[in-house]
Structure formats: structure tokens, C-alpha cells
């Protein structure tokens, strides 16, 4: 059921992207695919560092507000979570890796600079980005079946996640862009106050680094 919902969402996003791309003739809207990876951690799960790699993929749509500002909305499949160490040690019985799969919708404002006009068109090379993100929890996977994380995931994970987003983008040309962002949870991944009795007493709060490549039509 969840996979069918995810497929329908991305089909809707794809056709919306095609429709918006037609508006690029008047340069009010633009859209394109996004692909990258995440590095995540969760405060409260007894791990440290952005050790958990994940996949980021989806669609980016931009509305041109004026010469200095853009607004954007994205529809992403995003993997977050935590991991005890960057390189897994299979001989360490305490090692663990937890993957949390989300459908994420970030809303951002972009402050543009470094205007360029060349044979490929007009664009700004850099932007500073800020906004908020809503993510819907879909599924989870924990590699170590004996880890205490299994007590919480997936049944006690909050279904709705709200985060704030800070980042920057660099465009090599009008089509290809590179984005870095920091995603910090406003709500908890797991909140013990919602449960009586709570399986774990410490709240979990996530934060992630996203590194992505964008192709704008």
C-alpha cells in the first residue's frame, strides 16, 4: 500500500514537472530531477556523527519571484537514520544501522547572486536557501536484530516530521546545479511523552546533511 502511494506521488510529480516546464518560455517556472545522498544522525540513540548514508531522489520545482528571490517546492524520497560507525564492522556485536524512509516536501526561499548571461541563457550561479520541510514516515530497517532500536522502530516512530532547512546552491550553467543543505528536526523522531508506558525514556531528534545534483529544464 505504501509503495503504491509512493508511485502515485511520483507519477503526479512527474506530470506536474512536465506541465511547469512548458512555462519556462516565459521564465516564471522551472523544474527538474534531483539526485543525491544524505548523511544523518539522531540525538538520543547513543550514536554520534553523521554516520548514516542514504539516498535522496525526486523533483525540484522553482517559481521565479524577482531578480533576487526564488521560491521552490520539492517532492523527495529521503533516507535518514543513524549508524554506530561510518564503516560497518560485522564482527562488532554492538554495531547497528537504522534506515528511516520518508516522503519529504521541502518549501524554500532562495536569495540569488552572481548573475550570468551566456549562450545557454541567463541564470544566477549561487543562492542561499532557507525554509521548512514536512516528511511522512514510510518504513524502517534495522540491520542488528538485537539492537535496542528495534524496541522503538517502526511502531513508535512519529509519522509526521517537521524540520527547518538551511543550505546553498551552485549552478555550473543554467541546467546543472549542486546543492548542500542542513536539515534539523523541529519535532522529534520519537517522543516518549506520547506513550504510556514509553519503551525508551530518551527522545530522539534527527538532523541530516543533504548533498544533491539538480538538472533544471
Q: If you write DSSP's letter for every residue of 171-194 in order, what string do you get?
A: ESSSSEEEEEEEEEESS-SB-GGG
C-alpha cell at 114: 552572481
Query: Each residue of 5-37: pLDDT tens digit?
Result: 555 555 555 555 455 444 444 468 999 999 999
Give the predicted TM-score (pTM) of the model: 0.86
Class of domain 2-215 as given by CATH: mainly beta
Query: Each residue of 193-215: pLDDT tens digit?
Result: 999 999 999 999 999 999 999 99
Query: Each residue of 96-132: pLDDT tens digit?
Result: 899 999 999 999 999 999 999 887 778 999 999 999 9
Question: Which residues is 56 bridged to in the sheet?
Answer: 36, 78
Residue 189 predicted with pLDDT over 80: yes
Q: Is residue 144 very low, low, confident or very high in pLDDT (cuts 50, 70, 90)?
A: confident
Cα–Cα distance between 8 and 18 in angstroms, integer?
16
Query: Each residue of 50-100: pLDDT tens digit?
Result: 999 999 999 999 999 999 999 999 999 999 999 988 877 666 777 889 999
Cβ-count burial of 22 within 10 angstroms (0-12 exposed, 13-18 middle, 19+ buried)? exposed
Residue 194: CB atoms within 10 Å:
11
Q: Select from 23, 77, 40, 32 the least CA-distant residue to 169.
A: 32
Give the residue with greater pLDDT, 6 vs 178: 178
Cα–Cα distance between 183 and 165 in angstroms, integer?
5
Cα–Cα distance between 194 and 179 in angstroms, integer?
35
| pLDDT reported for residue 118 | 81
Return the domain boundaries, the chain: 2-215
Amino acid at each position: 500500500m505504501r509503495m503504491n502511494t509512493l508511485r502515485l506521488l511520483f507519477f503526479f510529480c512527474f506530470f506536474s514537472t512536465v506541465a511547469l516546464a512548458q512555462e519556462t518560455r516565459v521564465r516564471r517556472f522551472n523544474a527538474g530531477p534531483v539526485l543525491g545522498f544524505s548523511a544523518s544522525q539522531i540525538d538520543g540513540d547513543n550514536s554520534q556523527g553523521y554516520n548514516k548514508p542514504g539516498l535522496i531522489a525526486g523533483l525540484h520545482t522553482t517559481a521565479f519571484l524577482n531578480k533576487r528571490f526564488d521560491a521552490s517546492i520539492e517532492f523527495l524520497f529521503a533516507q535518514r537514520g543513524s549508524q554506530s560507525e561510518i564503516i560497518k564492522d560485522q564482527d562488532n556485536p554492538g554495531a547497528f544501522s537504522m534506515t528511516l524512509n520518508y516522503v519529504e516536501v521541502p518549501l524554500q526561499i532562495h536569495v540569488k547572486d552572481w548573475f550570468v548571461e551566456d549562450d545557454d541563457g541567463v541564470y544566477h550561479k549561487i543562492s542561499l536557501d532557507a525554509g521548512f520541510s514536512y516528511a511522512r514516515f514510510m518504513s524502517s530497517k534495522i540491520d542488528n536484530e538485537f539492537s535496542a532500536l528495534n524496541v522503538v522502530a517502526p511502531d513508535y516512530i512519529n509519522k509526521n516530521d517537521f524540520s527547518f532547512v538551511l543550505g546553498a546552491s551552485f549552478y555550473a550553467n543554467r541546467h546543472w546545479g549542486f546543492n548542500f543543505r542542513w536539515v534539523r528536526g523541529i519535532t522529534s523522531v520519537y517522543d516518549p511523552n506520547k506513550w504510556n508506558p514509553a519503551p525508551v525514556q530518551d527522545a530522539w531528534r534527527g538532523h541530516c546533511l543533504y548533498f544533491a545534483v539538480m538538472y533544471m529544464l
